């Protein structure tokens, strides 16, 4: 074969379309024009014409006609094998793309505060990681609001009644607060209490940095200053202080009601409540990993709503 003929043949191969490759494979599998036409959804004459055009382009015969039907020649076998490899590759790509949709991957940055992380969210995050092992969580702790627009975080889990208008999300529950004391100090379980007498006891309270919270303002306005013996600039550690007997104090119900050493002294006060929000930036909400987190963690937190809202019942695991 001359060099010129080889170059022409190479150029011809580069002109083969995927439909031509499928056509050869269909004829080989059906062993005839009629069967191939049925498989491809075209008529017999179209199969005949396209096969002739392809053989003319390549300068070789792709099939021999025998009594048993059409049998591929060596070039026909090569193209049929190529078609099978292409279909296998396409199937693999399809599965990997489907897998990406079902099992999103990558890093997800979540911001929340220390109290929610320690007392509520860590088991939720562990369950999420088990369900989505290809997503890595980067947890950013802070009470200040991070800028989700600048990708300081992808998702925020916050206790607030006024989520930023620039974010989207949903309110998962209402965090209720009530007054608690050490059970040993209230052997009757807090029944028949003279509520006014409680103001004479030592109190544990939130620090001045929480002055915008209703519960912090209540203590500041109602409890004599010399009776506030222990203040914290974080909710984390508040329950431990009451449990240690330092004083009585308002606590989130989802923290205090799980501690046998504490007793609830008053009913949850609606004016102290705050919403628990799951938030993200509008541009991120359709990201597969963000969507997976919002749906999964939203459902997990909702299962714990009766604890968060002070019903004093643990959700069934």
**CA 99 centroid distance within chain:** 15
What is the per-residue pLDDT across 180-222, written as a single tens digit (0 to 9) for each? 999 999 887 767 778 888 999 999 999 988 888 999 999 999 9
* Strands 274-280 vs 155-159: parallel, antiparallel or unpaired: antiparallel
- Higher per-residue confidence, 295 vs 16: 295
Q: Domain of 72: which CATH number?
A: 1.10.10.10
Per DSSP, the three-state class of 234 is coil
Residues 121 and 226 in one domain: yes
Per the listing, tokens 């094998």 go with 81
Indicate if the pLDDT at residue 88 is higher than 90. Answer: no
Instruction: Tell me if 19 sits within 8 A of 30, measured CB to CB.
Output: no
pLDDT for the residue numbered 6: 40
* SS3 of 209-231: HHCCCHHHHHHHHHCCHHHEEEE
Residues 6+ positions from 206 with CB-CB distance below 8 Å: 213, 215, 216, 219, 231, 232, 233, 235, 238
pLDDT for position 147: 55
pLDDT band of residue 3 (cuts 50, 70, 90) is very low
**pLDDT classification of 150: cutoffs 50, 70, 90:** low
The reply to whether 150 and 35 lie within a common domain is no
Does residue 3 form part of some domain?
no
Task: Give yes or no: residues 94 and 129 share one domain.
Answer: no
- Does a structural domain hold residue 4? no
Mean pLDDT for 94-119 is: 77
Q: What is the pLDDT of residue 98?
A: 45
Domain of 120: which CATH number? Answer: 3.40.190.290
How high is the pLDDT of residue 94?
Answer: 57
227 versus 316: the higher-pLDDT residue is 227
Q: Are residues 129 and 221 in the same domain?
A: yes
The DSSP element (H or E) to which 275 belongs, if any, is strand 274-280
* In contact, 259 and 185? CB cutoff 8 Å: no
**Domain-embedded: residue 116:** yes
CB neighbour list of residue 199: distance below 8 Å, 6 or more residues apart: 222, 223, 224, 227
pTM, to two decimals: 0.64
Which of 68, 98, 128 represents a domain boundary (last residue)? 98
Q: Report pLDDT for 148.
A: 57
| pLDDT recorded at residue 284 | 87
* pLDDT of amino acid 124: 96
- Long-range residue pairs from 294-300, CB within 8 A, at least 24 positions apart, any chain: 294/155, 294/169, 296/127, 296/128, 296/131, 296/132, 297/124, 297/125, 297/128, 297/157, 298/170, 298/172, 300/124, 300/127, 300/128
- Greatest mean pLDDT range, 6-15, 88-97, 99-108: 99-108
**What pLDDT does residue 144 have?**
60
CA 164 to chain centre: 21
Paired with 56 in beta bridges are none
- 18 & 130 share domain: no
- Amino acid 184: pLDDT: 92
Q: Which residues contact 145 (CB under 8 A, 6 or more apart)?
A: 156, 158, 164
pLDDT at residue 48, as a whole number: 92
- Do 145 and 232 belong together in one domain? yes
Angle between helices 18-30 and 44-58 (to 10 degrees): 120
Assign 4 a pLDDT band (cuts: 50, 70, 90): very low
Condensed to tens digits (0 to 9), the pLDDT of residues 282-309 reads 888 888 899 999 999 999 998 888 889 9
Q: What is the mean pLDDT of residues 143-167?
A: 76
Domain boundary among 57, 83, 98: 98
Query: Which pLDDT score is estimated for 158?
Result: 93
Residue 191 lies in a domain: yes
- How confident is the model at residue 315, as a pLDDT? 40
Sorted by sequence, the CB contacts under 8 Å of residue 191 that are 6+ apart come out as: none
The residue segments making up the domain with residue 158 are 103-316
């Amino acid at each position: 074969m001359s060099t010129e003929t080889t170059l022409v043949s190479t150029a011809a191969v580069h002109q083969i379309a995927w439909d031509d490759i499928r056509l050869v494979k269909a004829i080989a599998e059906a062993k005839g024009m009629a069967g191939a036409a049925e498989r491809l959804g075209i008529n017999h004459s179209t199969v005949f014409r396209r096969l002739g055009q392809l053989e003319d382009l390549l300068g070789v015969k792709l099939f021999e006609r025998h009594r048993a039907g059409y049998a591929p020649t060596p070039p026909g076998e090569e193209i049929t094998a190529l078609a099978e490899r292409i279909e296998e590759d396409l199937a693999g790509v399809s599965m990997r793309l489907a897998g990406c949709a079902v099992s999103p991957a990558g890093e997800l940055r979540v911001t929340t505060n220390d109290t929610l992380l320690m007392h509520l969210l860590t088991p939720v995050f562990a369950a999420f990681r088990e369900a989505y092992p290809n997503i890595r969580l980067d947890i950013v702790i802070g009470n200040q609001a991070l800028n989700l627009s600048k990708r300081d975080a992808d998702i925020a889990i916050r206790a607030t009644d006024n989520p930023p208008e620039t974010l989207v999300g949903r309110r998962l529950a209402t965090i209720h607060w009530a007054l608690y004391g050490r059970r040993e100090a209230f052997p009757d379980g807090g029944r028949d209490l003279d509520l006014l007498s409680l103001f004479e006891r030592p109190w544990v309270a939130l620090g001045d940095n929480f002055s915008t919270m209703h519960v912090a303002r209540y203590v500041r306005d109602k409890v004599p200053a010399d009776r506030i013996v222990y203040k914290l600039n974080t909710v984390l550690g508040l329950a431990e202080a009451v449990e240690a007997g330092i004083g009585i104090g308002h606590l989130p119900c989802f923290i205090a009601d799980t501690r046998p050493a504490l007793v609830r002294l008053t009913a949850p006060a609606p004016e102290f409540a705050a919403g628990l929000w799951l938030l993200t930036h509008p541009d991120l909400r359709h990201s597969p990993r963000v969507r997976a987190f919002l749906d999964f963690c939203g459902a997990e937190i909702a299962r714990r709503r009766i604890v968060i809202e002070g019903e004093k019942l643990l959700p069934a695991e």
